Amino acid sequence: PRDGEGETGVVVQTKPKTKRPPLYKVLLLNDDYTPMEFVVHVLERFFGMNHAQAFEVMLTVHKKGVAVVGVFSHEIAETKVGQVMDFARRHQHPLQCTMEKE
Ligand code: TYC
């Protein structure tokens, strides 16, 4: 019999099953129109970065096209994406923010 199976054909619990919830990366995408200062403000406002960190991450997105700006539970990641997309739309900037499973 396999580990934990005994002679009954029934698999009993082998591992303690405390599965951590999956995590999601929140990504910020570059574009040609959103002002740099606006992106810095977004990173400070929604991702708790200080000005220097925010400026650095903004420059990374500007140069590389995309960067991970945070890793969160599904619910928090969805909230962050929604907040950024809504804020950008209200200011008529084409800034894009997405999430993907880590
Ligand atoms: N590329 C933009 C510019 O030159 C700045 C920018 C940076 C836009 C990061 C979006 O996620 C972004 N004004």
Q: What is the pLDDT along the chain (102 residues), one digit of tens a residue?
A: 444 444 555 666 678 888 888 999 999 999 999 999 999 999 999 999 999 999 999 999 999 999 999 999 999 999 999 999 999 999 999 999 999 999
Ligand 1, atom 2, lies closest to the CA of: 32
Tokens of 6: 């005994």
Determine which residue's CA is closest to atom 13 belonging to ligand 1.
35
Q: What is the pLDDT of residue 14?
A: 79
Q: What is the DSSP string of 55-102?
A: HHHHHHHHHHSEEEEEEE-HHHHHHHHHHHHHHHHHTT---EEEEEE-
Q: What is the pTM of this model?
A: 0.85
